[in-house]
């Protein structure tokens, strides 16, 4: 089994659109949406949830006001500026700033601080027309997206092994931080979706540097390449210099949005189009390198 993670650095370059288009070409696949912050793949794949699990997030501390003596030691020790006086002059912990280290709870001389695990996250195993999909719903503002990413990927890998699937296709998050790192660590190949813009090229360079640190084979495609052909050419120069194979160039086409609106992947929406031909060629190169 081979895990291919689709990633971009910059957001909105077309990761989920590409993932859905490839997922509905391949067969015997397992899919994973590791963009737990803002998951979108399910909007195209219309999953039927078979299993749903609560994912315990980080600890969140709160002050038991009846026991608090107002000594302020907790706020002096808190490295996250999460503890301050509220409008009524009482010490208060901002749950969004609390990182769940529980140091305040341990040092409070009055035993006035308690922590509970956030249960604001859930993850699912679902059936879709393109294969089994593992995905998640993260509570807004949650701390642990990296751990939730690891969870959905771990489950997807288990399922892929059990089912003897050849390929696990993972739709990754934007950025290079903890969610992106958790999405590519241990993958077998990474597909970088770059759009023809200076920002996307800038971000792709950082992404390539990150993937290098993990020694994972990296491939690229240029999306909306004809929005700016000169920049697209600059991207090709960069890929060439870094020996990153370019698997295809996808033109800008407003009907890509229409496919999304109709709840279909592009290869389902317009199977005989030029664009779908490009997606097929990308898939063939990825699946049979």
Partner 1 sequence: MAIRIAIASGKGGTGKTTVATNLYYAINEASKDEALLVDCDVEEPNDVLFFPDVKPGKLTTVNQEIPKIDTSRCTFCRKCVEYCEFNAIVIIPPAEFAEVNPSLCHSCGACLVACPSDAFGIQNESIGTINRYLDKAGKEILEGRLKVGSAMQTMMIRSLKKSIGTSEKIVILDAPPGTSCPVVETISDANFVILVTEPTPFGLHDLKLMVTLVRQLGKPFGVVINKAHLGNREIYGYLDAEHIEMIAEIPFNRAYAEQYARADLFNMIPGEIRHAHRKIKENLSKKGLIR
Q: Is 118 helix (H, G, I), strand (E, B) or coil?
A: coil
Give the range of 23-31, 35-43, 62-70, 151-159 binding partner 1 by CB under 8 A. Answer: 35-43
Nearer to partner 1, 140 or 164 (CB): 140
Shortest Å distance, C-beta 115 to partner 1: 9
Q: Which of residues 171-230 bind partner 1 (CB under 8 A)?
A: 173-181, 195-199, 202-203, 206, 209-210, 213, 227-228, 230
Contact 25, 192 (CB under 8 A): no
Shortest Å distance, C-beta 228 to partner 1: 4
Nearer to partner 1, 227 or 246 (CB): 227
Cα(24)–Cα(283) distance, integer angstroms: 10
Q: Token digits for 222?
A: 């240029």
Nearer to partner 1, 19 or 267 (CB): 19
Which of 66, 87, 109, 140 forms a contact with partner 1 (CB under 8 A)?
140
Question: What's the CA angle centered on 213, arms 209 and 216, to 5 degrees?
Answer: 95
**Backbone dihedral angles phi then psi of residue 119, each to the nearest 5 degrees:** -120, 40
Nearer to partner 1, 28 or 198 (CB): 198
Nearer to partner 1, 38 or 67 (CB): 38
33 contacts partner 1 (rule: CB under 8 A): no
260 contacts partner 1 (rule: CB under 8 A): yes
Q: Which of residues 108-137 bind partner 1 (CB under 8 A)?
A: none
Bridge partners for 169 per DSSP: 4, 31
Cα(97)–Cα(143) distance, integer angstroms: 9
> Which of 276, 285, 281 lies closest to 251, judged by CA?
276
> Which of 127, 123, 166, 156 lies closest to 36, judged by CA?
123
Q: Any alpha helices (H) in the chain, and if so which ranges?
A: 15-23, 41-45, 73-77, 103-107, 145-163, 178-184, 198-213, 229-241, 255-261, 266-269, 274-287
Give the range of 11-19, 85-93, 164-172, 268-276 binding partner 1 by CB under 8 A. Answer: 11-19
138 contacts partner 1 (rule: CB under 8 A): yes
Question: What's the CA angle centered on 27, arms 24 and 29, to 5 degrees?
Answer: 90
Shortest Å distance, C-beta 62 to partner 1: 16
Contact 148, 135 (CB under 8 A): no
Which of 1, 2, 56, 59 forms a contact with partner 1 (CB under 8 A)?
59
Look at the block and give the residue holding tokens 């934007």. Answer: 174
145 contacts partner 1 (rule: CB under 8 A): yes
Binding site for partner 1 (CB under 8 A): 8-13, 16, 37-38, 40, 43, 58-59, 77, 79-81, 94, 96-97, 99-103, 106-107, 138, 140-143, 145-146, 173-181, 195-199, 202-203, 206, 209-210, 213, 227-228, 230-231, 252, 254, 257, 260-261, 263
């Amino acid at each position: 089994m081979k895990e291919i993670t689709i990633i971009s650095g910059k957001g909105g370059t077309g990761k989920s659109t590409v993932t859905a288009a490839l997922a509905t070409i391949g067969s015997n696949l397992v899919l994973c949406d590791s963009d737990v912050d803002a998951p979108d793949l399910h909007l195209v794949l219309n999953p039927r949830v078979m299993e749903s699990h609560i994912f315990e997030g980080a600890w969140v501390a709160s002050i038991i006001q009846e026991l608090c003596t107002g000594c302020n030691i907790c706020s002096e020790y808190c490295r996250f500026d999460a503890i301050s006086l509220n409008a009524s002059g009482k010490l208060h912990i901002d749950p969004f700033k609390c990182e769940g280290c529980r140091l305040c709870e341990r040092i409070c001389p009055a035993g006035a601080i308690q922590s509970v695990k956030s249960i604001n996250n859930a993850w699912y195993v679902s059936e879709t027309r393109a294969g089994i999909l593992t995905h998640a719903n993260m509570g807004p503002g949650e701390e642990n997206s990296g751990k939730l990413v690891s969870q959905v990927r771990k489950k997807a890998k288990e399922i892929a092994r059990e089912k003897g699937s050849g390929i696990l296709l993972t739709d990754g998050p934007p950025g290079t931080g903890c969610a992106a790192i958790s999405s590519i660590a241990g993958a077998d190949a990474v597909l970088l979706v770059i759009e023809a813009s200076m920002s996307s090229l800038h971000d792709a360079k950082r992404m390539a540097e990150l993937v290098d640190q993990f020694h994972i084979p990296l491939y690229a495609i240029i999306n909306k390449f004809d929005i700016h052909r000169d920049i697209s050419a600059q991207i090709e120069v960069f890929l060439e210099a870094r020996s990153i194979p370019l698997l295809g160039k996808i033109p800008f086409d407003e009907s890509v949005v229409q496919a999304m609106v109709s709840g279909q992947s592009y290869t389902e929406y317009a199977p005989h189009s030029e664009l779908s031909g490009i997606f097929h060629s990308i898939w063939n190169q990825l699946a049979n390198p």
